[in-house]
Amino acid sequence: MWRLGITGKELQVQNFLLLCHLFNVLNINLGKGVKVAIFDTGLSISHPHFKKVSERTDWTGDGDLDDGLGHGTFVAGLIASYRECFGFAPDADLHIFRVFTNNQVRI
């Protein structure tokens, strides 16, 4: 094993960023044209890590579209974040359905 002076987590991040760059160079689809629906606690309205949020719908009846807990935003980030922590499909169209209020979920 080589000793590079970096931690395992830093190496994982570097490998992931290298893989994302390789996907871009090889023109591998990163979600372009793919529609993803997320049924959760919503999506943070002010979060800057998402390119295409095509739809936001509140199914809870409280009229709030913001994710007060962060769980729905975390799930969306795993899928489609395009800054800092990259998701698996940053070019995907996100359709966010808020189906849980802040009081219905415990984190």
**CA–CA distance, 36 with 75 (Å, rounded to integer):** 11
Give 4-22 pLDDT, tens digit per residue: 555 556 656 666 667 766 6
**CA–CA distance, 93 with 54 (Å, rounded to integer):** 6
Nearest to 20 by CA among 72, 75, 71, 80: 80
**CA–CA distance, 94 with 2 (Å, rounded to integer):** 40
**CA–CA distance, 93 with 47 (Å, rounded to integer):** 16
In this prediction the pTM is 0.72
Give 66-75 pLDDT, tens digit per residue: 998 999 999 9
Highest-confidence range of 28-37, 57-66, 84-93, by mean pLDDT?
Answer: 57-66
